[in-house]
């Protein structure tokens, strides 16, 4: 297990994993129970973990403050290193609010902009984040599936990705390599050759979005090819929901939400621990 005192933010955490050819698990928080269960799973596995708060999650809770402060409190009490990260944020002001509230890292999503506009906006936000001592992830090449957008043919060009990182100064880059957001079946396949080319061309760690749609073998293969930060959300939400549904079917008169939510939390904890053990096991690196 890595001691909390040896890690200092997103760049350090990802750089260490990249050097060791392992992955870092990043799991989305929807409710505070997600954060509690994810951290419990990370403690069980003895691995660092990243708690991610998306713009959709912020809208659900009405504002950033309650869910971010709650997640930061859970992270601070953890027995393993835990970072709290803003995920897929398109609103720059929400990122500034996160910086004021003490978020550990952010992902600015300018992938919907044209290349020049994405570079300009990302560079400005990266400068603000770095001035606050906060790491930043960006995205180049839209990952399919999110908000109904499905573009299976879109891929990130290695040369363009290297130029983007040089122009923006970001600490990690999410790339399009064949995964898709919100998949409920683990049937997607990533382009490992492209990942290896990207890992060679890009000087910062690569981020795999839409990892819920990948099998265990695909996850291990993506990490072996050069992926570092592994984002997972839909897969855990499915387990959470099915566990709660099973509890309510077995005990239809139950009214105490703690009883059925606890079963959902247990499902998330168990799978988080399993996935972290899977992705933090060192794999031989595939090179080009």
The encoded tokens of residue 221 equal 């293969």
CA pair distance 281, 275, nearest whole angstrom:
10
DSSP code at position 49: E
Q: Name the catalytic one among 87, 104, 109, 171.
A: 87
Q: What are phi and psi of 227, to 5 degrees?
A: -75, 150
* Cβ contacts of 89 within 8 Å, gap of 6 or more: 54, 55, 95, 98, 106, 107, 108, 109
DSSP code at position 47: -
* Cβ contacts of 246 within 8 Å, gap of 6 or more: 263
Q: Are strands 172-175 and 135-140 parallel, antiparallel or unpaired?
A: parallel
Q: Which stretch of DSSP H or E encloses residue 53?
A: strand 49-54
DSSP string, 128-168: HHHHTT-EEEEEESPPBTGGG---TT----HHHHHHHHHHH
Tell me, yes or no, if 87 is annotated catalytic.
yes
Contact 81, 47 (CB under 8 A): no
CA pair distance 214, 233, nearest whole angstrom:
12
CA-to-CA dists, residue 159 to 195, 197, 201, angstroms: 13, 9, 7
DSSP code at position 8: -
Catalytic residue positions, numbered:
87
């Amino acid at each position: 297990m890595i001691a909390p005192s040896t890690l200092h933010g997103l760049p350090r955490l990802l750089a260490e994993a990249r050097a060791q050819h392992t992955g870092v698990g990043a799991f989305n928080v929807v409710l505070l129970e997600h954060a509690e269960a994810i951290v419990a799973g990370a403690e069980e596995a003895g691995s660092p973990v990243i708690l991610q708060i998306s713009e959709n999650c912020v809208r659900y809770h009405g504002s950033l403050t309650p869910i971010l402060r709650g997640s930061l409190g859970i992270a601070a009490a953890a027995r393993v290193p835990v970072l709290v990260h803003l995920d897929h944020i398109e609103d720059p002001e929400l990122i500034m609010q996160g910086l004021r509230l003490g978020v550990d890292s952010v992902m600015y999503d300018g992938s919907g902009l044209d290349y020049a506009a994405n570079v300009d906006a990302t560079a400005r936000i990266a400068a603000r984040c770095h001035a606050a001592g906060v790491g930043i992830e960006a995205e180049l090449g839209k990952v399919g599936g999110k908000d109904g957008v499905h573009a299976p043919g879109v891929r990130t060009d290695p040369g363009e990705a290297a130029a983007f990182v040089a122009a923006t100064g970001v600490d990690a880059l999410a790339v399009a390599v064949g995964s898709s957001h919100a998949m409920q079946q683990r049937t997607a396949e990533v382009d490992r050759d492209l990942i290896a080319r990207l890992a060679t061309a890009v000087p910062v760690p690569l981020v795999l979005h839409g990892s819920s749609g990948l099998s265990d073998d695909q996850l291990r293969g993506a990490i072996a090819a050069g992926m570092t930060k592994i984002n997972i959300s839909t897969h855990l939400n499915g387990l959470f929901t099915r566990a709660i549904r099973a509890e309510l079917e077995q005990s239809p008169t139950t009214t105490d939400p703690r009883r059925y939510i606890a079963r959902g939390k247990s499902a998330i904890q168990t799978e988080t621990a399993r996935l972290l053990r899977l992705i933090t096991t060192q794999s031989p690196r595939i090179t080009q």
